[in-house]
């Protein structure tokens, strides 16, 4: 089911098709009927995370030894596509599975993997990633949250903002300075379990332009005592290096969501213009409509082919920062233009909440900002010139 007619990429097997089908069926049953209610409430049901875990969506690339499905990024990519096609863009799924789980898997000690990954797979732990602070977003080096040694452990102080899953998360990967004199190299990541944890406080669930049911929030850490095992990996001051290595996958998964929304926008728009009448014709009969859609389909096809090439490279560890930055930047930009052009073809109905294209227009906007702004992506690409 796609508005594009690309052949399957080499990495896609029948198993991926089955995963796509089961994810689609799950979302249609457990998510889609609730989207309006969650949007009104500004937050999804916590229970939906558990149902998603039971359906295998939270641990696609966690190895079986740690309770996961033993897949890889290609499986995460398939799920991301289905989430976007279902219109569940507000869900902070990507932070939990394809973003935080690899931090634990790649940098955690064996004890840490055993402690956290199985619980992430079952949804007992819901993850958040807390880098951004009120005074430091793009400039991650400028963070002021700090962790100081205290006995065998650490004491964490600072505040974070714009944190996806901020209300539901009970496991937060926090970036903090452990050696402020060393600049970026003095950063460490801590895995903070928040249940009944003195010194941890959730702030406001932030009101936003889009992603209505995403519980994006502020988080506060006031003299929060952490055990030695909360430090991710065996030694401190590895955080910046750990974040840099994780970024290509974070950027790819955002690009994957962009392609999903682009395909959904095209499908919804093609169906609408074939139904809607004006001047005794259908809107599809106007040459402007045909040229608009032909142009968008061409751009979307090129974008998807590029994304799938990036996925193939990434599966072999060959999608570097530049490729991933190009995918994130160009696909999210394209997502915004295509959704805008599609909305135009809906006329006034495109501005109405009951038409999904209107929600997509709002939800698309953040894609150019989080995961590294598109300006930062261009800086990274420019370094390769």
Ligand X SMILES: Cc1cc2nc3c(=O)[nH]c(=O)nc-3n(C[C@H](O)[C@H](O)[C@H](O)COP(=O)(O)OP(=O)(O)OC[C@H]3O[C@@H](n4cnc5c(N)ncnc54)[C@H](O)[C@@H]3O)c2cc1C
Q: Which residues are catalytic?
A: 250
Cβ atoms of 156 and 170 closer than 8 Å: no
Which member of 30, 282, 370, 381 binds ligand X (CB under 6 A)?
370
Instruction: Return d(Cα 356, Cα 346) in angstroms, integer.
Output: 11
SS3 for 161? strand
**Is the CB of 220 or the CB of 370 nearer to ligand X?**
370
Rule CB under 6 A: say whether 138 interacts with ligand X.
Answer: yes
Per the CB < 8 A criterion, the answer to whether 19 and 76 are in contact is no
CB of 173 to ligand X, least distance (A): 9
> Cβ closer to ligand X: 249 or 289?
249
216 touches ligand X by CB under 6 A: yes
Compute the distance between CA of residue 328 and CA of residue 338 in angstroms, rounded to an integer: 15
Does 101 participate in binding ligand X (rule CB under 6 A)?
Answer: no
- Among 366, 367, 377, 380, indicate the residue that binds ligand X (CB under 6 A): 366
Can you tell me which of 145, 164, 187, 238 binds ligand X, judged by CB under 6 A? 164
Q: Which residue is nearest to ligand X (CB)?
A: 137
User: By CB under 6 A, is residue 211 in contact with ligand X?
Assistant: yes
Choices 125-133, 234-242, 289-297, 307-315 (CB under 6 A): range interacting with ligand X:
125-133
Which stretch in 69-77, 107-115, 162-170, 344-352 sits in contact with ligand X by CB under 6 A? 162-170
**Residue 86, φ and ψ in degrees, nearest 5:** -85, -5
What's the closest the beta carbon of residue 340 comes to ligand X, in angstroms? 19
When the beta carbons of 19 and 130 are compared against ligand X, the nearer one is 130
Question: In this chain, which stretch among 65-73, 123-131, 180-188, 273-281 interacts with ligand X, using CB under 6 A?
Answer: 123-131
CA angle 317, 323, 325 (to 5 degrees): 115
What's the rounded Cα separation, in Å, for the pair 260 and 237? 37
Cα atoms in the 13 Å half-sphere on the side-chain side of 381: 15
CB atoms within 10 A of CB 352: 11
What is the nearest approach in angstroms of ligand X to the Cβ of residue 302? 25
Question: Considering the rule CB under 6 A, would residue 132 count as an interface residue with ligand X?
Answer: yes
Q: Which stretch binds ligand X (CB under 6 A): 184-192, 321-329, 335-343, 375-383?
A: 375-383
Contact present, 358 and 339 (Cβ < 8 Å) = no
The single residue among 49, 66, 162, 200 that binds ligand X, judged by CB under 6 A, is 162
| Total residues in contact with ligand X, by rule CB under 6 A | 21
Sign of CA dihedral 354, 356, 361, 362: positive
Helix axes 239-275, 321-345, angle to 10 degrees: 20
Q: Give 211 or 345: the residue with its C-beta nearer to ligand X.
A: 211
Q: Which is nearer to ligand X, 338 or 366 (CB)?
A: 366
Taking CB under 6 A as the criterion, the residue among 60, 86, 105, 129 binding ligand X is: 129
Token digits of residue 296: 């968008």
The binder of ligand X chosen from 12, 355, 373, 381 (CB under 6 A): 373
Q: Which residues contact 152 (CB under 8 A, 6 or more apart)?
A: 227, 228
Our CB check for ligand X shows the closer of 137 and 248 to be 137
Hey, what are 65's tokens? 């030894």
Contact between 270 and ligand X per CB under 6 A: no
Neighbours of 152 (CB within 10 A): 8
Interface pick for ligand X out of 80, 95, 231, 327 (rule CB under 6 A):
95
154-172: b or e for each residue (b if 16 or more CB lie within 10 Å)? bbbbbbbbbbbbbbbbbbb
Distance CA 71, CA 101 (A): 13
Residues in contact with ligand X by CB under 6 A are: 95, 129-132, 137-138, 162-164, 208, 211, 216, 366, 369-370, 372-373, 375-376, 379
């Amino acid at each position: 089911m796609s508005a594009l007619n690309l052949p399957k990429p080499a990495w896609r097997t029948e198993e991926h098709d089955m995963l796509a089908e089961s994810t689609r069926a799950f979302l249609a049953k457990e998510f889609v009927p609730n989207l309006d209610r969650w949007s009104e409430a500004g937050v999804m049901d916590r229970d939906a995370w558990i149902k998603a875990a039971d359906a295998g969506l939270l641990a696609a690339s966690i190895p079986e030894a740690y309770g996961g499905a033993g897949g890889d990024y290609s499986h995460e990519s398939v799920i991301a596509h289905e989430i976007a096609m279902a219109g569940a863009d507000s869900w902070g799924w990507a932070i939990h599975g394809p973003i935080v789980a690899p931090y634990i898997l790649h940098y955690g000690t064996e004890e840490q993997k055993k402690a956290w990954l199985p619980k992430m797979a079952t949804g007992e732990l819901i993850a958040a990633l807390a880098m951004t602070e009120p005074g430091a977003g793009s400039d991650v080096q400028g963070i002021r949250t700090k962790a100081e040694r205290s006995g065998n452990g650490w004491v964490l102080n600072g505040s974070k903002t714009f944190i996806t899953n901020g209300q539901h998360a009970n496991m937060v990967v926090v970036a903090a300075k452990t050696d402020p004199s060393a600049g970026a190299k003095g950063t460490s990541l801590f895995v903070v379990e928040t249940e009944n944890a003195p010194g941890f406080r959730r702030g406001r669930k932030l009101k936003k332009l889009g992603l209505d049911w995403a519980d994006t929030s502020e988080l506060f850490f006031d003299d929060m005592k952490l055990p030695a095992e909360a430090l991710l990996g065996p030694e401190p001051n590895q955080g910046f290096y750990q974040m840099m290595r994780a970024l290509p996958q974070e950027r790819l998964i955002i690009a994957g969501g962009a392609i999903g929304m682009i395909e959904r926008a095209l499908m919804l728009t093609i169906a609408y213009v074939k139904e809607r009448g004006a001047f005794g014709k259908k809107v599809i009969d106007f040459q402007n409509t045909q040229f608009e859609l032909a142009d968008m389909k061409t751009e979307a096809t090129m974008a998807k082919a590029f994304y799938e090439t990036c996925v193939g490279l990434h599966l072999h560890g060959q999608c570097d920062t530049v490729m991933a930055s190009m995918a994130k930047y160009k696909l999210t930009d394209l997502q915004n233009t295509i959704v805008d052009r599609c909305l135009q073809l809906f006329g006034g109905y495109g501005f109405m909440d009951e038409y999904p294209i209107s929600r997509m227009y709002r939800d698309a906007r953040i894609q150019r900002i989080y995961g590294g702004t598109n300006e930062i992506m261009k800086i990274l690409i420019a370094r390769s010139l």
